[in-house]
């Protein structure tokens, strides 16, 4: 399916950069990013947009409205103040199942996206967020709903079904009460669209992984007693930003007794001699793709006997589970056969066994099963070109330290292909 087969396709990441005074192209003033010359960016953009539209078509949804900056990035590859627009209604995109795509952007930002092949028209966002609208929230929301209704009437005939990912009650109510639209959860459609990666997406992901592993190597080199957790963590940030990366979803790096239990973020604790240091990158790197890699090092680079025992169990966990995953295997079958945590570690287990990975942590999320499999998605199957991470956390309840490991994989017809390469046994 190629709904944009007649649109112009080229290879640029964004608008060409010109000196308006001379008309000269200044692109040579910019250092190429990793794999930039191998990635067909417009092909990737059209693939992703068409994936979204295929999901809408399959569910007889007339259009979707996306506010989540990650979903907007996936569908259009445009971005603008991503962290700011995660908590304000300042930017959204209207995507009909067929027809033109409208980007509604923050005022004075039209130039950021004007040359993208995924966008047909750019308008100023009509915001009813309290931050900007104050006491006019509900009147502004009604005005916004009217603009959506006009687009639906113009481009979608006789379909009152709209999917929206995140939206506050005033917007939803205005669309449903005043204009009688049926509202569906766009997150389901976007997660499923995002789950199958194209060849260009895989190159983007490799660029992020390689950048993260460069940062991990620097962290390993710089680790020494007397520095704080935050100081060590900063090296990964530096490498990411210096290589075109974007942000971090978490700050999961801990040392010594703070490694157990898991899910504590880095602090100003001073790392001591012989401490275990565990971390999870959760790094949104070049081109917006996430590198989600976990490792556990030791200050002084030599495990004691207990640290080695925990680390060996975590490696065994990763190796066992990755060999279970093949195209067509159900999530339920995988969960049932997955590596069994030691009983004294179970109550400290990581929230999931594996999860999808792309622009961020993505579907599927396969939890440790309960008796009736009601705590997660166990109904689907692994498909070719899914990208996943295999998780492991080994920390005994009441134990001194805990080991966190995680690797990236691509699901292929022959099994899993490993995408992350930093050695698991690097201490």
Q: Give residue-wise pLDDT tens across range 46-83.
A: 999 999 999 999 999 999 999 999 999 999 999 999 98
CA–CA distance, 23 with 5 (Å, rounded to integer): 31
Predicted local distance difference test score (pLDDT) of residue 178: 94
CA–CA distance, 316 with 322 (Å, rounded to integer): 10
Domain boundary among 148, 163, 194: 194
CB atoms within 10 A of CB 139: 13
Q: Note whether residue 10 is domain-resident.
A: no
Q: Note whether residue 320 is domain-resident.
A: yes
Q: Note whether residue 4 is domain-resident.
A: no
Predicted local distance difference test score (pLDDT) of residue 165: 96
CB atoms within 10 A of CB 124: 12
| 63-66, strands of its sheet edge to edge | 121-124, 102-105, 92-96, 63-66, 161-164, 182-185
Q: Are 89 and 126 in contact (CB under 8 A)?
A: no
Q: Are 66 and 53 in contact (CB under 8 A)?
A: no
Do both 276 and 291 map to the same domain? yes
Do both 98 and 223 map to the same domain? no
Centroid of chain to Cα 54 = 21
Q: Note whether residue 328 is domain-resident.
A: yes
Predicted local distance difference test score (pLDDT) of residue 1: 42
Do both 188 and 44 map to the same domain? yes
Do both 214 and 127 map to the same domain? no
Do both 379 and 235 map to the same domain? yes
Predicted local distance difference test score (pLDDT) of residue 320: 98
Centroid of chain to Cα 388 = 11
Q: Note whether residue 17 is domain-resident.
A: no
Centroid of chain to Cα 383 = 19
Predicted local distance difference test score (pLDDT) of residue 10: 42
Do both 108 and 207 map to the same domain? no
CA–CA distance, 45 with 53 (Å, rounded to integer): 13
Sign of the torsion angle spanned by Cα atoms 230, 235, 237, 238: positive
Predicted local distance difference test score (pLDDT) of residue 17: 53
Domain boundary among 151, 176, 194: 194
Predicted local distance difference test score (pLDDT) of residue 375: 86
Predicted local distance difference test score (pLDDT) of residue 135: 86
CA–CA distance, 278 with 108 (Å, rounded to integer): 43
Do both 134 and 188 map to the same domain? yes
CATH at 155: 3.40.350.10
Q: Are 190 and 74 in contact (CB under 8 A)?
A: yes
Two tokens, residue 306: 């207990």
Q: Compute φ and ψ for 341, nearest 5 degrees.
A: -65, 145
Domain boundary among 174, 194, 214: 194
Q: Note whether residue 425 is domain-resident.
A: no
Which residue has tokens 């005033």? 170
CA–CA distance, 295 with 293 (Å, rounded to integer): 7
Q: Are 221 and 44 in contact (CB under 8 A)?
A: no
Do both 393 and 269 map to the same domain? yes
Do both 119 and 132 map to the same domain? yes
CB atoms within 10 A of CB 122: 20
Predicted local distance difference test score (pLDDT) of residue 127: 87
Predicted local distance difference test score (pLDDT) of residue 30: 79
Tell me which residues of the chain have a pLDDT lower than 70.
1-28
Q: Note whether residue 124 is domain-resident.
A: yes
Do both 261 and 329 map to the same domain? yes
CATH at 276: 3.90.230.10
- Strand pairing report for 361-367 and 352-357: antiparallel
Do both 172 and 314 map to the same domain? no
Return the ∠ at Cα 178 (arms to 174 and 180), rounded to 5°: 100
- Which H, E and C letters describe the chain, residue by residue? CCCCCCCCCCCCCCCCCECCCCCCECHHHCCCCCCCCCCCHHHHHHHHHHHHHHHHHHCCCCEEEECCHHHHHHHHCCCCCCCHHHCCCCCEEEEECCCCCEEEECCCCHHHCCCCCCCCEEEECCCCCHHHHHHHHHHHHHHHHHHHHHHHHHHCCCCCEEEECCCCHHHHHHHHHHHCCEEEEHHHHHHHHHCECCHHHHHHHHHHHHHHHHHHHHHHHHCCCCCEHHHHHHHHHHHHHHCCCCEECCCCEEEHHHHCCCCCCCCCCECCCCCEEEEECCEECHHHCEECCEEEEECCCCCCHHHHHHHHHHHHHHHHHHCCCCCCCEHHHHHHHCCCCCHHHHHHCCCEEEEEECCCEEEEEEECCCCCCCCCCCCCECCCCEEEEEEEEECCCCCCCCEEEEEEEEEECCEEEECCCCCCCCC
Do both 237 and 298 map to the same domain? yes
Q: How many domains does the chain have?
A: 2
Taking only the tens place, the pLDDT of each residue in 159-182 is: 999 999 999 899 999 999 999 999
- Residue 291's domain comprises 199-418
Q: Note whether residue 9 is domain-resident.
A: no
């Amino acid at each position: 399916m190629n709904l944009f087969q007649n649109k112009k396709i080229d290879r640029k990441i964004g608008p060409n950069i010109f000196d308006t005074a001379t008309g000269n192209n200044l692109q040579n003033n910019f250092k190429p990013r990793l794999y930039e010359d191998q990635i067909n960016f417009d092909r990737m953009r059209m693939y992703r947009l068409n994936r979204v539209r295929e999901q809408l078509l399959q569910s007889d949804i007339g259009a979707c409205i996306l506010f989540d900056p990650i979903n907007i990035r996936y569908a259009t590859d445009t971005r603008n103040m991503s962290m700011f627009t995660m908590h304000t209604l300042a930017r959204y995109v209207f995507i009909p199942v067929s027809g033109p795509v409208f980007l509604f952007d923050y005022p004075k930002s039209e130039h950021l996206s004007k040359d993208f092949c995924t966008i047909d028209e750019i308008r100023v966002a009509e915001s009813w967020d309290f931050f900007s609208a104050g006491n006019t929230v509900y009147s502004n929301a009604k005005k916004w709903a009217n603009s959506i209704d006009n687009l639906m009437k113009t481009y979608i005939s006789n379909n009152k079904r709209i999917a929206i990912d995140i939206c506050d009650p005033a917007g939803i109510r205005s669309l449903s009460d005043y204009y009688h639209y049926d509202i569906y959860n766009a997150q389901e459609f976007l997660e499923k669209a995002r789950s199958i990666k194209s060849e260009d997406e895989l190159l983007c992901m490799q660029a992020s992984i390689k950048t993260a592993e460069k940062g991990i190597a620097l962290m390993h080199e710089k680790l020494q007693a007397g520095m704080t957790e935050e100081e060590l963590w900063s090296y990964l940030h530096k490498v990411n930003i210096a290589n075109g990366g974007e942000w971090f979803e978490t700050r999961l790096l801990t040392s010594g007794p703070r490694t157990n239990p898991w899910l504590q973020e880095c602090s100003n604790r001073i790392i001591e001699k012989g401490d275990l240091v565990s971390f999870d990158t959760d790094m949104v790197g070049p081109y917006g793709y996430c590198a989600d890699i976990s490792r556990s090092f030791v200050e002084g680079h030599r495990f004691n006997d207990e640290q080695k025992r925990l680390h060996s169990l975590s490696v065994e966990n990763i190796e066992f589970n990755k060999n279970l995953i093949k195209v067509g295997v159900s999530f339920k079958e995988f969960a049932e056969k997955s590596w069994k945590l030691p009983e004294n570690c179970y109550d400290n287990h990581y929230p999931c066994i594996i999860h999808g990975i792309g622009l961020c942590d993505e579907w599927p999320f396969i939890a440790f099963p309960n008796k009736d499999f009601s705590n997660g998605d166990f109904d689907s199957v692994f498909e070719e070109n899914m990208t996943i991470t295999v998780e492991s956390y080994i920390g005994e309840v009441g134990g001194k330290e805990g080991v966190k490991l995680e690797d990236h994989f691509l699901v292929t017809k022959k099994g899993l292909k490993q995408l992350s390469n930093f050695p698991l046994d690097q201490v």
